[in-house]
Amino acid sequence: MEKHTVHVNGIDMVYEECGKENEKTIILIHGFCGSSHYWHNVCPLLSEHYRIIMPQLRGHGETSVPDNVYTMEVMADDINGLAEALGIEKTVVFGHSLGGYVTLAFADRYPDKLSGFGLIHSTALPDTEEVKRKRYQDIHFIGKEGIEPYVHELIPKLFKDSKREEMPDEVEKVKQAGLNMSPKGAIHTLEGMMMRPDRSAMLHDAPYPVLLVAGADDEVVAPDDTFSVNEQETPKSTYEYPHIQENTFEGVAHMSLVEAPEQLARVIANYLRTLSEKEPVRVL
């Protein structure tokens, strides 16, 4: 995989790339306290037919750590700046967890630049008051204790216990991505996540198929929150939203990118094939 740096939206953004440059481009966005490394097991499985761009969000990995709140909109502007710098006019974006929040903000701000998107262990719902209180506690904790104890508490929540035992090297790589994050970057990202609005309407109103992937054992984002299109004031089944593709991975927690990369790659590949087919009939 090739690593590059571009200056966009006032920051130096690092990204990795694999696949074929003359093929259709997809963008894979990592989660909180992660990096482009999160996608390393998925990228080779898709690289034969796609050009794959894996950015490192502001405050994460080797990308700049500016001293301001990292709203989802600002990070979406970063992704747009990257796409423009690379000459990408239209793309499909898949976001894991935090990356899903950024994906929705990108879809909201730059609808003409998307032909589809997917949320991987993420949600269109805003933080509940309980979650906001937890984020405030995390901000205080990181500010006082630093990033290392926070990451050590976070890792067990990301993986199913049996998976942590089966793949210790992969779990360690995820941990190292978190440990390499600056406390300032983590705090500003937590602040930004608390500010995001409810974007559930973007799921059922999308003019193209939407991919939703959840882990049955996810302790970070529950499947019901991923499939939030069914949580409106007037609940509707996915049969009334045939463009929404819901997938629940059994035996997987929050990290299907690492826990079940082959399964995730198959689901993404199947979804991408639907984008080239006739748009399904929508019942509104």
Is residue 93 included in any domain, yes or no?
A: yes
Cα 241 from Cα 273, distance rounded (Å): 19
The rounded average pLDDT for each run of 10 residues, N- to C-terminus, in the chain (284 residues) is 94 96 91 97 94 98 97 98 96 98 98 96 96 97 97 95 92 96 98 96 92 96 85 46 88 96 97 74 32
Cα 213 from Cα 279, distance rounded (Å): 20
Dihedral sign for Cα 249, 254, 256, 259, please: negative
Is residue 283 included in any domain, yes or no?
A: no
Is residue 214 included in any domain, yes or no?
A: yes
Q: Which helix (H) or strand (E) holds 17?
A: strand 11-19
Looking up residue 46, the CATH number of its domain turns out to be: 3.40.50.1820
The pLDDT score that the predictor gives to residue 34 is 97
Cα 24 from Cα 53, distance rounded (Å): 11
Is residue 284 included in any domain, yes or no?
A: no
Q: Is the pTM of this model over 0.75?
A: yes
Is residue 161 included in any domain, yes or no?
A: yes
| Side chain identity, residue 106 | F
Note whether 199 and 225 are within 8 A (CB). no
The pLDDT score that the predictor gives to residue 239 is 47
Q: Name the token pair of 175.
A: 């941990």
The pLDDT score that the predictor gives to residue 23 is 77
Domain count, the chain: 1
Angstrom CA distances, 240 to 234, 282, 283, stand at: 12, 7, 5
Domain with 82, as residue range(s), is: 2-275
The pLDDT score that the predictor gives to residue 278 is 44
Is residue 50 included in any domain, yes or no?
A: yes
What's the N-to-C CA distance of the chain in angstroms?
A: 43
Is residue 282 included in any domain, yes or no?
A: no
The pLDDT score that the predictor gives to residue 228 is 79
The pLDDT score that the predictor gives to residue 277 is 66
Is residue 280 included in any domain, yes or no?
A: no
Phi/psi zone of residue 251: left (φ > 0), alpha (ψ -120 to 50 degrees), beta? left
